[in-house]
Structure 1
Amino acid sequence: MKKKAAVDHTDEKSPQTNLSWWRWGADKTDALIAALAMGVRFWHVFLLARSPFSRYLAGDAATYSSWAERILQGDLASLHQGVFYQSPLYPYVLAGIFAVFGKQNLAVFCVQALLGVLSCVLVARAARVLFSPAAGLLAGTLLALYGPGVYFEGLLQKAALDGFLVASLWWLWSRVVVLGGWYQWWAAGLCCGLLTLNRENALVLGLGVLAAAFFCQSGALTPKRRVLAAFLGLLLPLLPVAVRNAWIGGGVHLTTAQFGPNFYIGNHPNASGLYEPLVAGRGSPDFERLDARRLAEAELGRDITDGEVSRFWAGKAFAFIFGQPLTWAVLFAKKILLTVNGVEIADVDDFYGRSRMFLPLKLAFVRFPLIFALGVWGWIQSRARWRELFPVFFGVPLYVLSVAVFFVMARYRYPLAILLAPFAAWGMVQLWAAGKARGRPWSAWVVVSAGFGLSLLPLVERRWQEASTFVSLGDYYLNQEKNPGEAVSHYRKASQLAPESAEAQFRLAEALVAFDQREEAERAFAEAARLAPGWAEVYLKWGQARLSWGQEAAGLSVLSQAAQFPETAGPALRLLGDVWFKLGRLEEAFAAYQKAWGLGKDATLANNMGALLARQGRFQEAEQWFLQACELDPAYAQPWVNIAKLRLRAQDTAKAAQALEKALSLEPGHREAQELLRRMASPGSR
């Protein structure tokens, strides 16, 4: 096929070969597309700047921000991360933005909005070159008004970078098709390498580019040179990361060590197809890695490497797949349907809740069902050109499968919308042409209707997604603004939208405790425990609340439940020991402290153990525990006060004074230390 597919649109494309790269595919309508995209996006950014969402970060966003700060502080290789557990490209991009503009979330949103505008123009130019001028205008307009795209560009999330890189791939591939030179193949491979470094499952697009090198006949390069160029481009960003991971972790990890846990989350007997943490209530990036390792090591009975953790969870997933193939096939089919479903599935941030608050997200009216339905028809209409469009043509089904093999979230699915946009535009052009010819394209309408039908299946409820926005707002007011009253109002909205959400009930309970609404807090804790009986933190915080209300007996009952869960056993046992100590049940307190110590050394625990031993008259042992507390936390003043008490009891006032001075140097306002010094200085104190 000597440019057979390419010359289908020769009249529109041939002038491109003489253009500079920055004018490739350009047209006067680019200005209209850019203006439309920029207007919507910067209006959204303007409103974001006046909202809590520009100031409060949670989940992955908080992790990426702190990671970027560590890079700027000198940890250029991110050694604190060990083997990467999350894909590393986005934190380094964030670090670059912070280096130029300071740690300003608004600057990130502005840069991402500009990338979004550029993405619309790149896709328009690619569609113009590969399909037609009308398709270019439509593709750019679809993305300019794609609401979820505008939304993702207003988050500290790598999805914004995904969109730009996929748009770049479309544009670069149009150059490969027409020019087919070594540089064009290398650039397409490089783009896929960067995309893989940002979104691991996008490796399928890079493999598509390599495969295309065997089939595409554009340009004068031999297949070997095409493959070499694309492979070197793909390898350039990936090789340094793989070498770094091998040097740190001693294993082969192309990008991250997260494959196994993520694969298991999407493939086990109770999987829903959506994200569910390995341990209930611990979906934060801070916990994901710890829990994956802790659970694997507990089952294997030994310490293991990052690679072994990944293989452990992957092995459990494959055991389910091969052990229950029919059950897994049904689950996989469901995940494919979820991948193309019209609902934007949230995790921490939510499109629908923000659409209520930000008018630009409503005015950007294009949604996934429209792009999917028209995109499927355009994709089918392009089937004769599969060799020419190889990586983007086969990239559509391959990307769907690459998402569905794990679990589905809106930000994972987002690159699919960019892949489909030029096909959707071409589908619209074909439908319009058929209408003008007074034909009856029944097959087209059947396909488009079926696409809409699949995308609109009621698989996920939007109210669950909206609830997450109000949970995030509640978190902002409770944790950052220290305004529990305002937090309660948002948590109540979340629990009203999704009354069966344990997270909404639990967050409401925490805010009610801070707001001193005891009866309602008690009901919310009880409801959260009923909805999520395996969520250990619910019992721990419930027990702490009861203790703060002076309800020791009631607190003991729920803390005993918290002590049954590995993730909360340590703090729960310490609190149990504190209560029993307060109640004078010293043997039970000692046993609880010992169990807690076996789970993890802690300065507060060591201090409390010393206080208990002193109460029992075991003064030498008590002093050793106090000294150990000082070693574990050199800034902790209370153990020094307790040491001073022991030395006063032994009538060693000089050493007691030294201990008290040490305590006051650590905590100048420590009242007990000040009182003891006053007593020692008063006449007759000896």
Structure 2
Amino acid sequence: MTLIVALLVRLIHWWNVRHFDPLYNRTLPETDMHTYWEWAKSLVAGDWLSRKQGVFYYGPLYPYFLALLFRVFGESYDVVHGIQALIGVIAPVAIWDVARRLWGRSEALVAGLLAALSGPILFYEQLLLMEGLLVAIHACLLWCLVRGTLEPERAWRFAAFAGVLSALACFGRGNFLLVGALLIPGWWVAIRLVTSLATEGDRSAVTRSAWRAAFAFAASFGSLLFLSLLRNRIIGGQWVLTTGNGPILLYIGNAPDSFGIFHYPDSFYALKERYGGDQSLVPWSRELLAAILAEPLAFARNLGRKAWMFFSGYDIADNSSYYLNQRFSWVLRANPITWELVIALGAVGIWRTWRNWRRQFLVYLYAASFAISIILVFVVGRYRLEFLLPMCLWAGAGVVALARDLATRSWGGVARGLGIAVALIVALQPRWSPAVRINSPPTLKLVRWIRPNDYVMMARAMQLAGRDEEAFALLGEGAAMHPWDPACARGYAAELRKRRRPAEAVEVLRRYLSFFGNDLDAGTEFAYALGEAGRIDEANRVVERILQLSPDHPQARVLQQKLTTLQQTRQ
């Protein structure tokens, strides 16, 4: 049943996205999607070692996956999206089998369906990003961790496969290096724990199994990482294990003025300028360490904020917005399987299955180390996505335990379980996330789920798709929700002027300038709109103020001449 539901819902979602999402068959130049797509094209063109890249900056997993598809099927958006939909079936089936082996078929059914129907997983699977591929890899890794734990005599085989999968996960995103490193001793501990009740005569065999599993994982994991290290040394001239962006990303997420998300803080630009404008020359690790030592409390507060954002239900956008893209698929709009629901039910499952903690040791280790690896850098919705997989496992166990308590009228267990679930669902509501507050100035209390940049990028995609009126309406919505944002406000005002509606453009720009009155370029556009609306005197006064502040402002000078000519013509 899990397989059928997972496949059906993905085909429906694929159909929705194909027909309604303007980013289905295109990428925008400033996005990771565009970077990966162009990188894959260069691979197929013959640069299979990515010599143009030097040391890998982005994880190479997804571009090489795309290149393989391009080589076999040609450069086709339909093929990529279709293959990703099929790959998306792997995770629910793997989670179903893991839950079945740990607890039983009832728990497996619930866990598999939660993974199959999860809104965030469905959303990211259909983006031209690595998330769908990583979810499948991580699900297979969890399957190996549990199979190896439950079958100690064959654990080394599953450990070896887990090492390969862990290395692939690192080639997708470097944060998994922490998880992989901890899994090496983790295998040894897990085998010893699960066989701790063995007889005295069997203990030597148990010890051998534990060491073999740890060595098998380390060998396969380390071998693939060594190949990456060797490639970076030969091609890029540096000893870099996977990607070279780690120090920069750590600084972005942990600087004293960091928001804890992917947002370049002011100190980033200051350091870049201090070192001559080249970010590769900045010793980011040293500068970050100095900043942490200078302001340890700021660092601690930022870690706490990132932990909150990690567990919160709000999906922090990067490249594409979950909340905006819900409009293109009813599978997402009508989806009740939210992040906070799975986390809350998963917490109930952790509580109810704690007695069997030895069998779940590697799952605990995976979940905890994965969460820490993200929180230590910065939080983005797609970066944390794989955390849903172990939580779906525990959620399946939690739901079945609650159902059994209800059937046997164990009201104490029902009350405690529901209490935990409801409390967490309320606490993890997206509106409480610090990331939501970043979307609005502190003086404006309205919750804004969609960032201004997401409105602008989607409007641009709609324009490229020939859907001009939809793009215009979306820009208008963005300007209404984020009147202080230059891209939304000025972009919408420009579209209004193109449509010969200067009076409306005047009001949009007036509202924007009430937030940023020192934006002289916007002031010039405001004066243009006033002139087009026939309010020449007001336009002249605005231009005069601009020229007082910046006598050589070129656009203001040109507009002043036009307004003078227009006044003379009228006279």
* CA shift in 2, pair 1:222/1:112, >3 Å: same
Given candidates 152, 164, 173, the residue that maps to 1:199 is: 173
* CA shift in 2, pair 1:433/1:483, >3 Å: closer
What is the Cα deviation at residue 436 of structure 1?
A: 3.0
What is the Cα deviation at residue 384 of structure 1?
A: 4.1
Of 408-417 and 264-273, more deviation after overlay is shown by: 264-273
- Contact in 2 for aligned 1:484/1:514 (Cα 8 Å): no
Looking at structure 2, the residues matched to 111 and 262 of structure 1 have their Cα atoms a distance apart, in angstroms, of 31
Answer yes or no: is 1:265 the counterpart of 2:237.
no
* Counterpart residue number, 2:564: none
Answer yes or no: is 1:65 the counterpart of 2:42.
no
Answer yes or no: is 1:300 the counterpart of 2:275.
yes
Given candidates 25, 39, 47, the residue that maps to 1:55 is: 25
Of 69-78 and 451-460, more deviation after overlay is shown by: 451-460
Of 386-395 and 481-490, more deviation after overlay is shown by: 481-490
Larger radius of gyration: 1
Given candidates 452, 455, 466, the residue that maps to 2:425 is: 452
Looking at structure 1, the residues matched to 39 and 59 of structure 2 have their Cα atoms a distance apart, in angstroms, of 12
**How many residues align structurally?**
521
Given candidates 290, 296, 302, the residue that maps to 1:319 is: 290
What is the Cα deviation at residue 168 of structure 1?
A: 0.8
Residue identity matched to 2:214: V
Residue identity matched to 2:68: G
5+ unaligned residues in a row in structure 2: which ranges?
196-204, 437-446, 533-538, 562-571
Question: More relative contact order in 1 or in 2 (CA 8 Å, sep 6+)?
Answer: 2
- Contact in 2 for aligned 1:354/1:469 (Cα 8 Å): no
Output one character per residue of 1:636-664: Cα deviation in whole Å (capped at 9) or x when no partner.
xxxxxxxxxxxxxxxxxxxxxxxxxxxxx
* Counterpart residue number, 1:353: 324
* CA shift in 2, pair 1:261/1:434, >3 Å: same
Of 66-75 and 321-330, more deviation after overlay is shown by: 321-330
5+ unaligned residues in a row in structure 1: which ranges?
1-31, 280-290, 564-572, 584-686
What is the Cα deviation at residue 48 of structure 1?
A: 1.6
Answer yes or no: is 1:436 the counterpart of 2:436.
no
Cα RMSD of the aligned pairs, angstroms, is: 3.6
Answer yes or no: is 1:252 the counterpart of 2:239.
yes
* Counterpart residue number, 1:116: 88
Output one character per residue of 1:59-84: Cα deviation in whole Å (capped at 9) or x when no partner.
11111111111111111112222222
Matches within 5 A, 1:2-41: 32-41=1-10
Looking at structure 1, the residues matched to 513 and 48 of structure 2 have their Cα atoms a distance apart, in angstroms, of 43
Looking at structure 2, the residues matched to 485 and 56 of structure 1 have their Cα atoms a distance apart, in angstroms, of 19
Q: Percent identity?
A: 25
Looking at structure 2, the residues matched to 553 and 84 of structure 1 have their Cα atoms a distance apart, in angstroms, of 53
Looking at structure 1, the residues matched to 106 and 318 of structure 2 have their Cα atoms a distance apart, in angstroms, of 37
- Contact in 1 for aligned 2:56/2:244 (Cα 8 Å): yes
* Counterpart residue number, 1:505: 489
TM-score for both structures, normalised by structure 1: 0.68
* Counterpart residue number, 1:212: 186
* Counterpart residue number, 1:682: none
* Counterpart residue number, 2:456: 471
Matches within 5 A, 1:138-217: 138-180=110-152, 181=154, 182-217=156-191
Answer yes or no: is 1:236 the counterpart of 2:208.
no
TM-score for both structures, normalised by structure 2: 0.80
Looking at structure 2, the residues matched to 302 and 316 of structure 1 have their Cα atoms a distance apart, in angstroms, of 16
After superposing on structure 2, the runs of 4+ consecutive aligned residues of structure 1 that deviate more than 6 Å are: 538-563, 577-580
Looking at structure 1, the residues matched to 33 and 107 of structure 2 have their Cα atoms a distance apart, in angstroms, of 35
1:124 match: secondary structure = helix
Looking at structure 2, the residues matched to 560 and 378 of structure 1 have their Cα atoms a distance apart, in angstroms, of 67
* CA shift in 2, pair 1:77/1:560, >3 Å: farther
Output one character per residue of 1:453-502: Cα deviation in whole Å (capped at 9) or x when no partner.
33126225463327665433311234x24675543222002222343444
Of 229-238 and 411-420, more deviation after overlay is shown by: 229-238
* CA shift in 2, pair 1:436/1:330, >3 Å: same
- Contact in 1 for aligned 2:91/2:135 (Cα 8 Å): yes
What is the Cα deviation at residue 250 of structure 1?
A: 3.3
Looking at structure 1, the residues matched to 67 and 493 of structure 2 have their Cα atoms a distance apart, in angstroms, of 37
Looking at structure 1, the residues matched to 151 and 138 of structure 2 have their Cα atoms a distance apart, in angstroms, of 20
Residue identity matched to 1:274: I
* Counterpart residue number, 2:442: none
Residue identity matched to 1:230: F
Looking at structure 2, the residues matched to 86 and 236 of structure 1 have their Cα atoms a distance apart, in angstroms, of 20
- Contact in 1 for aligned 2:17/2:24 (Cα 8 Å): yes
What is the Cα deviation at residue 144 of structure 1?
A: 1.2
